[in-house]
């Protein structure tokens, strides 16, 4: 896979696919980690005399413009971080984008509006997706992919455009894949995996793949309630979004493989997330029927911390509780501290986890690598082919080399 150090960009128009899918609340960017992560690639292209046409998605609009998903706030933050103007085109491939791209000169950057405002970006119809890709590719001489958080999607700007133009990976994708290969190659052991958060159904296949590599797997968050329920325990009104039968299978597989799959021994419970009354810590097998588990308990936090202290490799994806509410963030804080203090290679698996550790006051530099792509990193570890990486590994189109 070529990187931008392998290509000549001076005087060229570069379509730069980024992942600027940041959390925005009332026009305010709550966490700009993904924007900061792309700056090295962006600055390098500008310094080398490229005219950059940056593009990204934000949220999940249904192929039509929605004001709440506009990239306008991102353009403003990006300009502040770069220390130069970022021209914001208020459409993707329409007249305003065409005009902005026509006017861009080397050393300048244009940011297109949210790619998912165009139905061609995510279409499952090859012709519709290809038509949008042709329009995007027609704006540029070179394609650079650096939106790691989206490389597991077979979307027009990720897959189809890369096959239409000479292409290379940006520094972020290079760093992400290098870090993930440390978790799939000759791993320094003990290798401890920490999985939490929601979307258990999406993460369960990863548990199966990691049981062949990990020494121990620590489970928290809503993932834990799925496994507790799989053991036949009552979890009260706790969130259940996984497949209990599959979880039971993984518990059995872990036992056969000799991998410790650790579940919370105690949990913090409340009537709801909004409950501001006294919190109660109960054993995991004694969750009241009218209460829900919203964090791991102190005993579990100490147990997990002890395991992490002896690890030489750690991968963490998903908070231990509803940590956006401070009173349910103690478990996540304890795990983050233990990982930051460990002496081995540590990787934070993007998404909610990366935002959580920053919200708790940790700097990215306290961990070996903080990924920008939760779903992409999980699918990489699961052994799946990621379309965005496959496209970047492909040879340049013949007509582009001629």
How many beta carbons lie within 10 A of that of residue 287, not counting itself?
A: 22
CB count in 10 Å sphere of residue 239? 18
Predicted pLDDT of residue 3:
97
pLDDT at 185: 85
Q: Cα(89)–Cα(69) distance, rounded to whole angstroms?
A: 14
What DSSP letter does each residue of 295-320 carry, written as one string? EE-HHHHHHHHHHHHT-SEEEEES-S
β 86-88/313-317 pair status: unpaired
* CATH fold for the domain made of 4-173+386-401: Rossmann fold (3.40.50)
Q: Are 376 and 148 in contact (CB under 8 A)?
A: yes
Count the neighbouring beta carbons within 10 Å of the beta carbon of residue 278. 6
| Amino acid 399: pLDDT | 55
Cis preceding linkage at 190, omega within 30: yes
The tens-digit pLDDT sequence of the chain (402 residues) is 999 999 999 999 999 999 999 999 888 999 999 999 999 999 999 999 999 999 999 999 999 999 999 999 999 999 999 999 999 999 999 999 999 999 999 999 999 999 999 999 999 999 999 999 999 999 999 999 999 999 999 999 999 999 999 999 999 999 999 999 999 888 999 999 999 988 777 788 888 888 888 999 999 999 999 999 999 999 999 988 778 888 899 899 898 888 999 999 999 999 999 988 889 999 999 999 999 999 999 999 999 999 999 999 999 999 999 998 999 999 999 999 999 999 899 999 877 889 889 989 999 999 999 999 988 999 999 899 999 999 999 999 965 543
Domain with CATH 3.40.50.1260 in the chain: 4-173+386-401, 185-382
The fold of the 185-382 domain, in CATH, is Rossmann fold (3.40.50)
CA distance 191 to 195: 13
Q: What is the pTM of this model?
A: 0.91
């Amino acid at each position: 896979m070529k990187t931008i150090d392998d290509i000549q960009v001076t005087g060229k128009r570069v379509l730069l696919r980024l992942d600027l899918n940041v959390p925005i609340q009332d026009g305010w960017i709550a966490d700009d980690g993904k924007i900061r992560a792309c700056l090295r690639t962006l600055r390098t292209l500008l310094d080398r005399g490229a005219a950059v046409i940056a593009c990204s998605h934000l949220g999940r609009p249904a192929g039509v413009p929605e004001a709440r998903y506009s990239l306008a706030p991102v353009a403003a933050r990006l300009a502040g971080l770069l220390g130069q103007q970022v021209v914001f085109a208020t459409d993707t491939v329409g007249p305003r984008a065409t005009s902005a791209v026509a006017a861009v000169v080397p050393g300048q950057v244009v940011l297109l509006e949210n790619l998912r405002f165009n139905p061609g970006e995510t279409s499952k119809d090859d012709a519709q997706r290809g038509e949008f890709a042709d329009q995007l590719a027609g704006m540029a001489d070179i394609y650079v992919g650096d939106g790691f958080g989206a490389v597991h999607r077979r979307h027009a700007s990720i897959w189809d455009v890369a096959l239409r133009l000479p292409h290379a990976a940006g520094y972020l994708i290079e760093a992400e894949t290098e870090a993930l290969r440390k978790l799939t190659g000759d791993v320094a052991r003990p290798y401890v995996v920490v999985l939490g958060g929601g979307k258990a159904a999406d993460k369960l296949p990863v548990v199966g793949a990691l049981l062949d590599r990990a020494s121990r797997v620590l489970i928290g968050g809503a993932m834990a309630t799925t496994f507790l329920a799989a053991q036949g325990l009552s979890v009260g009104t706790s969130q259940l979004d996984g497949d209990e039968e599959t979880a039971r299978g993984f518990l059995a597989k872990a036992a056969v493989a000799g991998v410790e799959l650790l579940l919370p021994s105690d949990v913090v419970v409340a009537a709801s997330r909004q409950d501001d009354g006294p919190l109660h810590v109960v054993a995991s097998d004694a969750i009241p029927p009218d209460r829900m588990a919203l964090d791991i308990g102190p005993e579990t936090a100490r147990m997990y911390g002890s395991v992490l202290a002896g690890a030489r490799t750690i991968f963490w994806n998903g908070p231990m509780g509803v940590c956006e509410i401070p009173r349910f963030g103690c478990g996540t804080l304890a795990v983050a501290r233990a990982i930051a203090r460990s002496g081995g290679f540590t990787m934070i698996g993007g998404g909610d986890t990366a935002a959580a550790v920053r919200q708790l006051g940790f700097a990215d530099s306290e961990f070996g690598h903080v990924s920008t792509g939760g779903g992409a990193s999980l699918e990489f570890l699961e052994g799946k082919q990621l379309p965005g990486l496959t496209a970047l590994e492909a040879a340049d189109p013949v007509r582009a080399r001629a």
